[in-house]
Amino acid sequence: MREPSPALLNGQGPLPSHWGSNGCFETMRAYHGRIFRLEQHLDRLEASARFLGTPPPPPRRQLAAQLLEALARSGLREAVVRVALIPPQGRRSARGSQPSIVVQPIQAPPPSAYRRGIRVAVVPARPPRIGAISPQAKYSARLGSVLAVQEAQLRGVDEALFMAAEGFVTESTASNLGVIRDGALETPPCSLGLLSGITRDVLFEVAAGLQVPVREVPLTRYELYTADEVFLSSTLKEALPVTWIDGRRIGTGRPGPVTQRLGRAFRRLVERELGMGRR
């Protein structure tokens, strides 16, 4: 997976160019014509709008219906569904934000990336420091991630990991980070300034079902280089193995067994929740 597009890595694609700095968004994934964890995504969208002062979206049932209608009109069974809340232009208005909905074909990593793993590099963090703005709000200012994607491409790798000033590696440009060590899943705590992804939470659920211990601990380059396995997780990536970091081989240099078990269990959970096995 060489020279990936910023849209693939950042999970953004075409969004309105005129939405203000307090615009917010969500990226969802549809499997077999149904959106996975729609309610959790809408929870986060509403929370982001409240935090950023963005005028609220339409009532939840109305917005959910609009998303499902847009997905049905697209004719896509496997799709990315993005919704952006656009604040009213000009003078302050009592009306809510106008939702902009985009449905696209899946731009997920190719199957070869899951068979071989990807290469990443650690770069200095460019997002605002912790406390400047909550990392739990998905807001429109994504320049730090865009620049990190460009740096990853210049280094000839597939993705970039952010390292905070304190020396802890936090997340990638649009994914959470997981490390497998001695059979346990380790991941940075959100208190370090990273977004608690919905896929991250689902992987915690499936890890419990597989009796894989989960630990939220700060991770440095040392913990990454000496890990048994490393992976990234997001709505589009699910659980994507990382086999090289900063030119160093991770573990055996191939996707590890625990990451693969988590990925398969994630897919089984999706199938159960969306009733895909009964179709």
More confident residue, 80 or 139: 80
% pLDDT > 70, the chain: 77
More confident residue, 129 or 200: 200
Residues 6 or more apart whose Cβ sits within 8 Å of residue 251: 227, 228, 229, 230, 243
pLDDT of the residue at 234: 96
CA torsion 201-206-209-213 (nearest 10°) is -60
Q: Which residues, listed in sequence order, are joined to residue 82 by a DSSP beta bridge?
A: 27, 102
Q: Which of 146, 144, 121 is nearest to 132 (CA)?
A: 144
Over 60: is that where the pLDDT of 245 sits? yes
Over 50: is that where the pLDDT of 15 sits? no
How many CA atoms, within 13 angstroms, populate the side-chain half-sphere of residue 15? Answer: 25
Per-residue pLDDT reduced to its tens digit, 248-267 = 999 999 999 999 999 999 99
User: Where is average pLDDT lowest: 125-129, 154-158, 241-245?
Assistant: 125-129
| Averaged pLDDT for residues 202-213 | 98
Domain annotation for the chain: domains and CATH numbers? 6-105 (3.30.470.10), 111-271 (3.20.10.10)
More confident residue, 58 or 210: 210
pTM of the entire structure?
0.84
| Averaged pLDDT for residues 62-83 | 97
